[in-house]
Structure 1
Amino acid sequence: MTLSALRVLLALAVTIHVLLTKRDTAAAIGWIGMAALMPVLGSILYLMFGINRVKRLARKLVRQRGAPGSAPATRWQKSVEGRFAPLASMVGKLTSRSLVGGNNIEMLHDGDEAYPAMLDAIQRANTSVLLCSYIFRADRVGGLFIDALIDANNRGVAVRVLVDGVGAGYFSCPTARRLRRAGVPCGRFMHSLLPWSMPFINLRNHRKSLIIDGVLGFIGGLNIGDENMVADCPRDPVSDTHFRVRGPIVRQLAAAFAWDWTFTEGEDLAGPTYFPDIDASGTDLMRIVTAGPDTDLEKIEFVMLQAMTLARSSIRLMTPYFLPGTRLSTELCLAALRGVTVDIVIPQRSNHVVMDWACRADIHPVLDAGCRVWSAPPPFNHSKLLVVDREWSFVGSSNLDMRSLRLNFEINLETYNAEFSQRVDDFIVGHCDRRVTHHDLDKRNYLTKLRDSGARLLSPYL
């Protein structure tokens, strides 16, 4: 009798908490069903994986420090005229960040171009170096970054390094160990050996950024490791795209890092060391957009949806994994049905075979609506790019899958510069190698289709 009563109480407690906290109906029904069928095991799993403790802490930080996008605005505030004015207005309200001008942006390809520029910037740093990376290997390339960071710290530069608690190594993180031994502050985001801290699956910091002296920034999809040096022909090469930015936008990039650093280490980064006055370096209008399962929930997805709604001629996107969920998939279909050219570029083969299986089961709707899906030839391309009408672009760390859009902490950059957007658009078009058709999907045998459809059910967790 006592055990039965305990099972009922556990199931009831989970049900009440789910009803009060879960917005997603399917997830709510799933957790309630699990608790009802397996009260003890279901309650343990919900305690480990179902409760978003990050949002609670993030709200506490907002009360103490203000929203992460509330860094002082620069004097470069301009309005966007034309069709994208509603987008600019919406994103400003959504993110609490100003659209700032006076910026310059350069596209860098692979580690071959990006790493030398990043290392040179670290070596030239005078006041501060802020580095965030999901993966930071302690291999040959990683060793070059570790040595440069240690040298900067030794000459009096304020260095802060943030790596993900899983991506950079869960059981062992040689990078963090070497940096800490040399006196370089290095935080491991959401790292804990306690299972209820959800270290294995959810809430990863997938952001990649580097800020030098508060005036020069790098942002994109590039991790730190030998595999990104494509010209060196590593065993499993990863091609990627990174961006170097100058101008007032760097202040927003630094503010995003400072928020993550405070969340992880409890140290506030403030003052001219990290946030100096910044002069104009160009004419580009830009804004940082962050997303994560905290106060920024789904903001990158909302920006994409609004931009696609405004498309009149073309939408081109490049992503390493295409599992967008119902909302983005529907918007892409609607755009294609109203006559917009929609090109989706995915790798011929990614570095996650189960993601590839799930993707093949997920692209039927967009093909049915008239979207064109292309497979890019090897090496595996890890770029995350979106361009609308060759006038507006959105680049950064966010993949087009439900994990990136709703579970990971991501950072993207929107630009209202036609010249830059055309360069990114041309880059995407250049990777449209082989078109994926209905015939390609239909010729799979029954067991392969069954496997791919089964993998699709795992898409929220891949």
Structure 2
Amino acid sequence: MHFGMDFWSVFSMVFLVTAIPVAIMIILEKRSPYKTAAWVLALILLPVFGVFFYLFFGQEYRKQKLFSRKGLKSLTRYRRLSFRQLRQFEQSLQNIDPKVREKENIIRLLLKNSNALLTTGNKVKILNNADETFSSIFEAIETAVHHIHLEYYILSNDKTGNRLKNLLIKKSRQGVEVRIIIDDVGSWSLGNKFMSELRDNGIEIYSFMEVRFPRLTSRVNYRNHRKIVVVDGRTGFTGGINFADRYLEGAKGIGPWRDTHLRIEGDAVSCLQVVFAADWFFVIHENLTGQKYFPLLSEEKGVPMQISASGPDSDWASIDQAFFKAIAGAKSKIYIASPYLMPPPEIIFALKTAALGNVDVRILIPEKSDAAIPMWSSFSYIEELLEAGVRIFFYQAGFIHSKYLIVDDIFCSVGTTNLDFRSLETNFEVNAFIYDEEFTAGLKKYFLSDLQNSREIKLPEWKQRSWIFKLRESLAHIVSPML
């Protein structure tokens, strides 16, 4: 009895001193009620651990800004161009297919929330899976004469990573400038030897927001999930594929890795370069300027597109907002491929509203995942979507890691953003927003092909899942806003 009283006395004291003040801080931040409730519940159930978990992973930085972009010259120039496009919006759309006019609200939104310049002089190719992607990237790197810029969440010390390393060393010895940004968490296991070999050969490589004691802070939660390659300012790549063997060989227990990437040539590459230049400015405070890095825009006819970057350094959750706008404005169809399905409430609401309004909404996700808790959390959203008429498909031929959105046969977005809280609200991400009927038809063809390797989940079947299954997904659902 005495022991019990002592335990509860200590517990109450810890709760009063730690959990309650932090809970008040969270409430005063005025986040969405959904996220606020999740964090407060974590503090109540785990008062000590919950406090540390919040301090490391829970703080919001969008309003505080992780770093200043003051003095970043390339961004200033493209902001001026985007402001001019907004002022002269009708003139800006002259090289656009009239069919795209119905999506001009998305164009205007991205110009406002992320200064995403609309470019038209572009050629874009879908790279289906890692073999096509790596072949195309290595081919482009071989042709480099001035610079090669890479920004990646994962760079692995394996066959694929070493193939890249050896090629970059070769180009550096030829006098080509090589700059690399890696995420410090995603590329944690890369090793000093790998990086030293690059640096010894004149290659600049830096980690984005290093996570090292004693500098371990809540910023560990804000990771650079971007995948960018820019060669000579004229050829660029982005999408879902990192430099690691598993993208080629598959993952143990889940099978082949299915993914989607883009090769971009033309004016939009300068917009990818702006994103890289902003992050480079952050890691070493060096400006990249001049026509060698930013060729003059041609403004020729081609595939119209915008490059939007989103993260805790930006004023708005620009990609989240663009997804919501596209889904809410859909007239006939919405096709989504994503490895994780943990959308914020506004996206869930938009998807259900669209389906109830007779829009053909289909979502393709993996049945087997590379992460258990996100998988169970993804499952927790399925029933309410099925009830609204959203069609859910489980990919059967391995693990689908593609990240794209197709709306109404005229608009699509491909990039690094998963349909989950982390990508849409927390990580540094980048997406291409493309307004072209022919390109969208090509992406739709791959989507429908992947559906042939999938099984559709029907509501009566899903409701028959076991209580243990339901318990797992319910527990995972609680923490989904924190994942």
Q: Structure 1 length as normaliser, TM-score?
A: 0.89
Residue 228 of structure 1: aligned partner: 247
Is residue 463 of structure 2 the alignment partner of residue 442 of structure 1? yes
Q: Secondary structure at the match of 1:64?
A: coil
- 1:84: how far off? 1.1
Aligned partners of 1:367 and 1:373 also within 8 Å: yes
Residue 448 of structure 2: aligned partner: 429
Aligned residues: 458
Paired with 1:353 and 1:182, the residues of 2 have a C-alpha distance of 40
Paired with 1:204 and 1:57, the residues of 2 have a C-alpha distance of 14
Paired with 2:260 and 2:424, the residues of 1 have a C-alpha distance of 19
Change in Cα spacing, 1:246 to 1:280, as seen in structure 2 (3 Å) is farther
Greater Cα shift, 38-47 or 123-132: 38-47
Residue 106 of structure 1: aligned partner: 125
Aligned partners of 1:70 and 1:96 also within 8 Å: no
Q: Secondary structure at the match of 2:120?
A: strand
Paired with 1:311 and 1:35, the residues of 2 have a C-alpha distance of 40
Residue 49 of structure 1: aligned partner: 57
Greater Cα shift, 222-231 or 430-439: 222-231
Paired with 2:15 and 2:368, the residues of 1 have a C-alpha distance of 46
Residue 350 of structure 2: aligned partner: 331
Change in Cα spacing, 1:372 to 1:35, as seen in structure 2 (3 Å) is closer
Paired with 1:450 and 1:44, the residues of 2 have a C-alpha distance of 26
Greater Cα shift, 22-31 or 314-323: 22-31
Is residue 105 of structure 2 the alignment partner of residue 86 of structure 1? yes
Change in Cα spacing, 1:47 to 1:333, as seen in structure 2 (3 Å) is closer
Aligned partners of 2:409 and 2:437 also within 8 Å: yes
Q: Which amino acid aligns with 2:481?
A: P
- 1:289: how far off? 1.1
Change in Cα spacing, 1:69 to 1:409, as seen in structure 2 (3 Å) is farther
RMSD of aligned Cα (Å): 3.2
Aligned partners of 1:77 and 1:101 also within 8 Å: no
Greater Cα shift, 49-58 or 142-151: 49-58
Counterparts of 1:185-196 in structure 2, within 5 Å, are 185-194=204-213
Aligned partners of 2:156 and 2:243 also within 8 Å: yes
Q: Structure 2 length as normaliser, TM-score?
A: 0.85
Q: Could you list the runs of 5+ residues in structure 1 that have no partner in the other structure?
A: none
Counterparts of 1:249-268 in structure 2, within 5 Å, are 249-268=268-287
Is residue 176 of structure 2 the alignment partner of residue 157 of structure 1? yes
Counterparts of 1:226-375 in structure 2, within 5 Å, are 226-230=245-249, 236-279=255-298, 283-375=302-394
Residue 457 of structure 1: aligned partner: 478
Change in Cα spacing, 1:369 to 1:130, as seen in structure 2 (3 Å) is same
Q: Secondary structure at the match of 1:431?
A: helix
Paired with 2:252 and 2:211, the residues of 1 have a C-alpha distance of 35
With CA pairs under 8 Å and 6+ residues apart, which has the higher RCO, 1 or 2?
Answer: 2
- 1:36: how far off? 8.7
Is residue 421 of structure 2 the alignment partner of residue 388 of structure 1? no
Q: Could you list the runs of 5+ residues in structure 2 that have no partner in the other structure?
A: 1-11, 86-90
Paired with 1:360 and 1:320, the residues of 2 have a C-alpha distance of 12
Residue 426 of structure 2: aligned partner: 407
Q: Secondary structure at the match of 1:287?
A: strand
Change in Cα spacing, 1:184 to 1:307, as seen in structure 2 (3 Å) is same
Q: Secondary structure at the match of 1:290?
A: strand
